[in-house]
Amino acid sequence: MKKIILFGVLLLSLFLVVSSCKDKVKTEKSSELIKQGVLEVPDSAVLINTVLSADEQARLTPDAVLEILQKGNKEFTEDNLTVRNNLQRVREAALSQYPKAAIVSCLDSRVPVEDVFHRGIGDIFVARVAGNIINEDILGSLEFACKVSGAKLIVVLGHEHCGAVKSAIDDVKLGNITAMLSKIRPAVAAAAKNYDGDKTSDNPKFVEAVCSQNVDHAINEIRSKSSILKEMEDKGEIKIVGGVYHMETGKVDFL
């Protein structure tokens, strides 16, 4: 009798393992077909999100927004993105917006910011500029995002293997790129001070050190050149944080 029960348990375990493998393959195949536009997604599988309202935005704290972005990034790295009711959200957000955060990101095509944090229409402001540098226009944009539109969190998002950072290390001079790279040069100098070893763009460790330093430098620039944002941060109305996006994993490490 015991042998029969044991055999039954073994058979059931084998069935569960095989069916979970099948499900995984099926899910991977389905998401690939959805991506290719071959498979239509049933309405029931679409995530119904409403665009954030003014009240909902007002109730959020900077820490809560940071948690939402961290959770969204985890979902992105697990390839757990959802199909959204985008057209409905486009219409809802047509006349107003109450985004929860403002992200300053590099121009790099390999860093799809909304996807990286699993956010949709009306969720986040994104300012993109090569090397995620800070200038007057970016500061004005951030002041608009936080002071006028109520965003609770600023994230300066650097990334691995950044071409702008490498060009600043190499002291590239070309057209308007020269002036742009001059805003990354202070980070190169600061990183070089504390770095023993090869200080060229051929050394990924040094590039990484400059990238982090560049994020810190951008945050300092925001605090020192925008009295509006500095005051909001001092009052606890917003938080300003840095992060680095990892190319191979899609993970954002908040600094």
Q: Is 108 in the site for Zn ion (CB under 5 A)?
A: yes
Please answer whether residues 113 and 128 qualify as being in contact, where contact means their C-beta atoms are separated by less than 8 angstroms. Answer: yes
Q: Could you say which residues in the range 35-54 bind Zn ion, by CB under 5 A?
A: none
Piece in contact with Zn ion (CB under 5 A), picked from 112-120, 159-167, 170-178, 230-238: 159-167
Binding mask 7-36 for Zn ion (x = CB under 5 A): ------------------------------
Contacts of 36 (CB under 8 A, 6+ apart): none
- At its nearest, how many Å lie between Zn ion and the CB of residue 99? 23
> Smallest gap, in angstroms, from Cβ of residue 15 to Zn ion?
49
Q: Report helix, strand and coil shares of the chain as percent, to nearest 5.
A: 55, 10, 35
Q: What is the number of other CB atoms lying within 10 angstroms of the CB of residue 127?
A: 21
Distance CA 163, CA 176 (A): 15
Q: Does 162 interact with Zn ion (rule: CB under 5 A)?
A: yes
CA distances from 240 to 110, 125, 231 (A): 24, 14, 12
| Interacting span for Zn ion (CB under 5 A) from 50-58, 113-121, 164-172, 186-194 | 164-172
Of 111, 105, 102, the closest CA to residue 144 belongs to 102
Q: Is 106 in the site for Zn ion (CB under 5 A)?
A: yes
* Cβ-contact 238, 154 below 8 angstroms: yes
Stretch that binds Zn ion, among 1-9, 80-88, 156-164, 169-177 (CB under 5 A): 156-164
Least separation, in Å, of the C-beta of 131 and Zn ion? 6
Going by DSSP bridges, is the β-strand pair 124-128/153-159 parallel, antiparallel, or unpaired? unpaired
Is 146 among the residues that bind Zn ion (CB under 5 A)? Answer: no
Contact range with Zn ion by CB under 5 A, out of 35-43, 145-153, 163-171, 186-194? 163-171
Q: In whole angstroms, what is the distance from residue 254 CA to residue 231 CA?
A: 23
Q: CB under 5 A: which stretch of 85-93, 101-109, 200-208, 216-224 binds Zn ion?
A: 101-109
Residues that contact Zn ion, how many (by CB under 5 A): 4
d(CA 4, CA 187) in angstroms, rounded, equals 70
- Nearest-approach distance from CB 145 to Zn ion, in angstroms: 21
Rounded distance between C-alpha atoms, residue 78 and residue 92, angstroms: 29
Q: How far is the CB of 186 from Zn ion (least distance, A)?
A: 17
Residue 97 vs 105, nearer CB to Zn ion: 105
- In the complex, the residues that contact Zn ion under the rule CB under 5 A are 106, 108, 162, 164
